[in-house]
Chain A
Amino acid sequence: MENLNLILPEIFISLSIMFLLILGVFKNDSSKITFNLSLFAILITTIITFNETYSVTRETLFNESVVIDGMSSLMKILTLIGGFLVLVISSTYLKTFKIYNIEYPVLILSSILGMMVMISSNDLIVFYMGLELQSLALYVLATYNRDQLKSSEAGLKYFVLSALSSGLLLYGCSLVYGFSGSTNFDIISNQLNSEEYVLTFGIVFILVGLAFKISAVPFHMWAPDVYEGSPTTVTLFFTIVPKVAALTVFIRFLYVPFLNLIDQWQMIIVFLSIASMVFGAVAAIGQTNIKRLIAYSSIGHIGYTLAGLATASNEGIQSSIIYISIYVIMNLALFSCLLMLRRKDQYYEDIDDLSGLSKNHPLLSLCLLLILFSLAGIPPLAGFFAKFYVFKAVLEQSMYFLAIVGLLSTVVAAFYYLRIIKIMYFDKEKDKYDTDHSLWLKFSLTVSTILILLYFIFPSQLIEVVSRINII
Chain B
Amino acid sequence: MNFPILSSLILLPTIGALFLFFIKEKEGNNTTIKYVALFTTIVNFLISIYLWIAFDQSTSSFQFIEDRTWIKGFINYKVGVDGISILFIILTTFITPLCIISVNNSIKNRLRDFLIAILIMESFMIGVFSALDLVVFYLFFEAGLIPMFLIIGIWGGARRVYSAFKFFLYTLLGSVLMLVAIISIYLITGTTDVVQLYEIGIDVKYQNLLWLAFFSSFAVKTPMWPVHTWLPDAHVEAPTAGSVLLAAILLKMAGYGFIRFSLGLFPVASEVFTPLIYTLSVIAIIFTSLIALMQEDMKKLIAYSSVAHMGFVTLGIFTLQQQGIEGSIIQMISHGLVSAALFLTVGVVYDRMHSRLISTYGGLVSVIPKYSILFMLFALASLGLPGTSGFIGEFLILMGAFKDNFLVAVIASIGVILGAAYMLWLYKRVVFGKLLNEDLKKILDLNRSEYFILSCLAAPILFFGFYPDPLINTIEVSVTDLINMHNTNIASK
Contacts and interface: CB of A to CB of B under 8 A. Distances in A.
A415 B179 CA distance: 19
B165 interface: yes
Interface in B118-172: 135, 138-139, 142-143, 145-146, 149-150, 153-154, 160-161, 164-165, 168-169, 172
Interface stretch (A123-131, A219-227, A389-397): A389-397
A380 B143 contact: yes
Contacts of A362: 113
A425 B155 CA distance: 10
Interface string A403-431: 11001101100110010011001100000
A44 to B, nearest CB: 33
B183 interface: yes
A463 B150 contact: no
B183 A391 contact: yes
Nearest to B145: A378
B279 interface: no
B71 A459 contact: yes
Interface string B103-119: 00000000001000000
A460 B72 CA distance: 6
A238 interface: no
Interface in B247-276: none
Given A422-B164, A459-B71, A463-B71, A379 B153 contact: no
Nearest to B209: A400
Interface of A: 362, 373, 378-380, 384, 388, 391-392, 395-396, 400, 403-404, 407-408, 410-411, 414-415, 418, 421-422, 425-426, 456, 459-460, 463-464
Contacts of B186: 392
A460 B145 CA distance: 25
Contact of A411 (B72, B135, B176, B183): B176
B180 A395 contact: yes
A351 to B, nearest CB: 15
Contacts of A411: 169, 172-173, 176
A426 B70 contact: no
B187 interface: yes
Contacts of B71: 459-460, 463
B370 to A, nearest CB: 36
Nearest to A385: B71
Contact of B180 (A400, A421, A460, A464): A400
A411 B180 CA distance: 14
Interface in B172-203: 172-173, 176-177, 179-180, 183-184, 186-187
Given A418-B165, A456-B139, A403 B180 contact: yes
Contacts of A407: 176-177, 179-180
A378 B147 CA distance: 12
A422 B153 CA distance: 7
Contacts of A400: 180
Given A373-B146, A426-B153, A426-B154, A392 B139 contact: no
A414 B142 contact: no
B176 A418 contact: no
Given A378-B143, A411-B169, 4 more contacts: A379-B143, A411-B172, A426-B154, A459-B71
A392 B153 CA distance: 33
Contacts of A408: 173, 176
A378 B176 CA distance: 10
29 contacts: A373-B146, A378-B145, A378-B172, A379-B142, A379-B143, A384-B139, A392-B183, A392-B187, A395-B180, A395-B183, A395-B187, A400-B180, A403-B180, A403-B183, A404-B180, A407-B177, A411-B169, A411-B173, A418-B168, A422-B153, A426-B153, A426-B161, A459-B70, A460-B69, A460-B70, A460-B72, A463-B71, A463-B72, A464-B72
Contact of A391 (B142, B143, B149, B179): B179
A403 B139 CA distance: 18
Given A404-B177, A407-B176, A415 B183 contact: no
A410 B142 CA distance: 13
A404 B213 CA distance: 11
Contacts of B165: 415, 418, 422
Interface string B193-225: 000000000000000000000000000000000
A362 B150 CA distance: 14
Contacts of B169: 411, 414-415, 418
Nearest to A394: B183
Nearest to A397: B187
Nearest to B172: A411
A408 B176 CA distance: 7
Contact of A396 (B69, B173, B187): B187
Contacts of A459: 70-71
A414 B167 CA distance: 12
B11 to A, nearest CB: 12
A411 B145 CA distance: 13
Interface string B76-120: 000000000000000000000000000000000000010000000
The 9 A-B pairs at the shortest CB distance, nearest first, are namely A407-B176, A379-B139, A460-B72, A379-B142, A395-B183, A411-B173, A459-B71, A426-B153, A392-B183
Contact of B154 (A384, A391, A425): A425
Contacts of B179: 388, 391, 407
A185 to B, nearest CB: 32
B72 A379 contact: no
A319 to B, nearest CB: 12
A359 to B, nearest CB: 8
Contacts of A422: 153, 161, 164-165
Contacts of A418: 149, 165, 168-169
A379 B160 CA distance: 23
A303 to B, nearest CB: 15
Contacts of B173: 408, 411
B179 to A, nearest CB: 6
A411 B179 CA distance: 13
